[in-house]
Amino acid sequence: MRIDVLTVLPGLFDCFLREGVIGRAVKSGKVNVNVVNIRDYALDKHRVVDDVPYGGGPGMVLKPEPIFRAYDELTKEGEKPLVILTEPWGEVFNQDMALELSKKGRLMIICGRYEGVDERVKSIVDREVSIGDYVLTGGELPAMVIMDAVIRLIPGVLGNRESLSADSFMDRGLLGYPNYTRPSEFRGMRVPDVLLSGHHRRIELWRKEQSLKRTLDRKPELIDKLMREGKLSKEEIE
């Protein structure tokens, strides 16, 4: 997969693309992330990328020309990317969207800043995506959130494919089960006996029951959705 990120603050991505699972995915070539400084496509020698809003009002707006020039240059060849613009009012990002995006060959993420981008930029955008109902200073953190969730789903990025299916919202659509590691007793809190039993079938059943309990407790709306979709039966809940 190739991801082009258009930003006025490319340095923000340095650590993210160097460390951990994402750093390894980049190093091994499972994903090719191309962070592009929008300023490199400005029209003037001062590399200005923002201007005052027509009609007055506070703040600055990201000008259309540098973004269009970057887009034209980057899409001259190869597969056309699915273009995402980060916006607080966009579709709220979730695991289903991450799965869908992880199957694309190429993405482009445009990071807004200041008061946002000139509205005409939307003509090259396929999806406006939000990471939640709050306002950040720019689209770089949302872009990293989207990339993190998407890149870890690319086949071969996580060593153990099973760890994905045990994740919340994944295969069964339920929340994850509780995890424990050594020591088996810590400050009077014991690891549930079943996990120490070595009995795989019982462990599997316990985990499923815990996932169901957690989902009923924290996100009951998911249970309704799974039942409607026929992925979960009444008997399984009882």
Q: Which residues bind ligand SAM (CB under 6 A)?
A: 86-88, 111-113, 115-116, 130-132, 134-139, 142
Q: Alpha-carbon distance 104 to 1, whole Å?
A: 7
Is 174 annotated in a binding site? The answer is no
Question: Rounded to the nearest whole angstrom, what is the least distance from the CB of residue 121 to ligand SAM in the complex?
Answer: 10
Which stretches does DSSP call E strand in 15-117?
32-37, 50-51, 61-62, 82-92, 106-110
**Is 152 a catalytic site residue?**
yes
What the block records as the tokens of 41 is 């496509």
Question: Rounded to the nearest whole angstrom, what is the least distance from the CB of residue 30 to ligand SAM in the complex?
Answer: 25
Task: Give whichever of 1 and 131 is closer to ligand SAM, judged by the CB atom.
Answer: 131
**Is 115 a catalytic site residue?**
yes
Listed in sequence order, the residues at least 6 apart from 232 whose beta carbon sits closer than 8 Å to its beta carbon are: 172, 173, 223, 226
Query: If you compute the radius of gyration of the chain from its CA atoms, what whole number of angstroms results?
Result: 22
Q: Alpha-carbon distance 111 to 131, whole Å?
A: 12
Is 132 annotated in a binding site? The answer is yes
Is 131 annotated in a binding site? The answer is yes
Of these residues, 100, 115, 128, 236, which one is catalytic? 115
Of these residues, 88, 106, 148, 214, which one is catalytic? 88
Is 133 annotated in a binding site? The answer is yes
Q: Alpha-carbon distance 32 to 21, whole Å?
A: 14
**Is 167 a catalytic site residue?**
yes
Buried b (16+ CB within 10 A) or exposed e, 171-194: ebbbbebeeeeeeeeeeeeeeeee
Question: Rounded to the nearest whole angstrom, what is the least distance from the CB of residue 193 to ligand SAM in the complex?
Answer: 44
What the block records as the tokens of 221 is 């709306």
What the block records as the tokens of 182 is 């050594």
Task: Give whichever of 128 and 236 is closer to ligand SAM, judged by the CB atom.
Answer: 128
Question: Rounded to the nearest whole angstrom, what is the least distance from the CB of residue 7 to ligand SAM in the complex?
Answer: 10
Is 136 annotated in a binding site? The answer is yes
Instruction: Note the helical H segments in 28-133.
Output: 64-74, 95-102
**Is 118 a catalytic site residue?**
no
Question: Rounded to the nearest whole angstrom, what is the least distance from the CB of residue 126 to ligand SAM in the complex?
Answer: 15
Is 52 annotated in a binding site? The answer is no
CB 32 within 8 A of CB 4: no
Task: Give whichever of 81 and 112 is closer to ligand SAM, judged by the CB atom.
Answer: 112
Task: Give whichever of 90 and 176 is closer to ligand SAM, judged by the CB atom.
Answer: 90
Of these residues, 100, 126, 167, 236, which one is catalytic? 167
Q: Which residue is nearest to ligand SAM (CB)?
A: 112
Q: Which residues fall in the annotated binding site?
A: 112, 131-136
Which residues are annotated as catalytic? 88, 115, 152, 167
Q: Which residues fall in the annotated binding site for S-adenosyl-L-methionine?
A: 112, 131-136
